[in-house]
Structure 1
Amino acid sequence: MKEELSHTESLKIINEMISAAKNNYEQSGSFYFLLWGWVVMTANLGHYILEKFTSFEYPFIFWTLTLPAAIVAAWYGSRQKSKTNIKTHFSRLYGEVWVAMGICMVLSLLFMSKINFNHSAIIMMLAGAGTYLSGQMLKFRPLILGAFALWLAAIICFSLPMTDQYLVGAIGILAGYLIPGYLLKSAEK
């Protein structure tokens, strides 16, 4: 025999599932902000230093750090997914926000010559959008403020020569990913 739930009981179950899914991301969300924050900040600074102060022919070499970072992120994500018993619309949507942002970032890199090499500004805008949505979904104000730091970095990048955009990008990632990431990690405990 099938039991029918009251409206209140249904809402309670839905809220519990959303809280559980949110908790899963709050418990592991800092990992991604810290991983990508350190990798992207290092790549930005490395590229900036090599291009500005040396005659090294391949200053973009630091960006190869993103390849092992993507592997680590995928491995960590699959490990977390297998540990999670609750699959909700919220948990799926949270991950898909970043999949969409990542695809847009890769596309901006593939067509950077078509966008007048303002890819740093566009990537900062996209990172800001993903960070803002994450902050809203987790109701975590430091991520929301981090998004505004990334958007400010994007605005500044649009008015700078390409080389200097890497320095601004590093500062934007520090303010937009790393500081909120460490605050989120602290809140996870």
Structure 2
Amino acid sequence: MENQLTPQQSLDVITAMIQQAKGNMQKNSFYFLLWGWTIVIANLGVYLLIKFSDVSNPYLMYLLTIVSAIISVVYGFRKGKRAIVSTHLDNIYHWLWIGLGVNCFVLWIFGNQIGWQLNAVIVTMSAVPTLISGVLLKFKPLIYGGVVFWVFGVLIFLTKNENQFLFTAIAVTLGYLVPGYLLKNSDKHA
């Protein structure tokens, strides 16, 4: 005879799956910190090179993102091989961020079509996966981080000089790094 779950057992199973998904996603503070620092360093580097040097191509600082992309893929692959359970929420979370990465790559390829004003678009686009990550995790700092990206996206659209790089660094500090460290800390106490 087939075992039937009681309503309480069903609720316990669902609760356990949600907690597992939340635990899996909390471990992703690594990505917020890696990409946060990469983008902050690249943008501050571009800002400082434009403002205080005569370097012909300060935008080469963005090559740091290639290194971070490789680190992300290797880290994700290794983490995926060790994963005991992968939930539907894990998959949504994973593809949400891959979607942002693909959009950023497309913008990089066709950036000249929009006058290389990529920061405003990327910061604005970053709001969605950041906010949704906060909703999935029930983690308000990421929700606020998404809102920060929208606000700074508008500000950067209105800024046509080197200050856009400074504003991007501030947005990423508030939108990725602060929530990333809070998420990492919450994982230690979970």
Task: Say whether the fold is shared (TM-score over 0.5).
Answer: yes
Q: CA deviation digits over 1:84-129, x for unaligned, max 9?
A: 2112101111111100111111112222222233210110011111
Determine if contact 1:112/1:118 at 8 Å carries over to the other structure: yes
The aligned counterpart of 1:153 is 152
Tell me how far 1:162 sits from its aligned partner. 4.4
Q: Distance in 1 between matches of 2:2 and 2:98?
A: 39
Q: Distance in 2 between matches of 1:57 and 1:178?
A: 30
Tell me how far 1:11 sits from its aligned partner. 3.4
Aligned length: 188
Q: Secondary structure at the match of 1:117?
A: coil
Which structure 2 residues correspond to residues 76-95 of structure 1 after superposition, within 5 A? 76-95=75-94
Q: CA deviation digits over 1:29-79, x for unaligned, max 9?
A: 211100000000000010111122211111011111111111111111122
Asked if 1:25 is matched to 2:25, the reply is yes
Q: Distance in 1 between matches of 2:105 and 2:163?
A: 21
Q: Distance in 2 between matches of 1:164 and 1:113?
A: 20
Determine if contact 1:118/1:162 at 8 Å carries over to the other structure: no
Which structure 2 residues correspond to residues 161-180 of structure 1 after superposition, within 5 A? 161-180=160-179
Tell me how far 1:14 sits from its aligned partner. 2.5
| Unmatched 5+ stretches in structure 1 | none
Tell me how far 1:7 sits from its aligned partner. 4.2
Q: What's the TM-score once normalised by structure 2's chain length?
A: 0.93
Q: Distance in 2 between matches of 1:30 and 1:128?
A: 16
Q: Distance in 1 between matches of 2:15 and 2:115?
A: 47
Q: Distance in 2 between matches of 1:76 and 1:7?
A: 39
Determine if contact 1:43/1:62 at 8 Å carries over to the other structure: yes
Same amino acid, percent of matched pairs: 37
User: RMSD of the TM alignment (CA)?
Assistant: 1.4
Aligned partner of 1:122: which letter?
V
Q: Secondary structure at the match of 2:112?
A: coil
| Unmatched 5+ stretches in structure 2 | none
Determine if contact 1:117/1:162 at 8 Å carries over to the other structure: no
The aligned counterpart of 1:181 is 180
Q: Distance in 2 between matches of 1:153 and 1:50?
A: 22
Deviates more, 1:154-163 or 1:90-99: 154-163
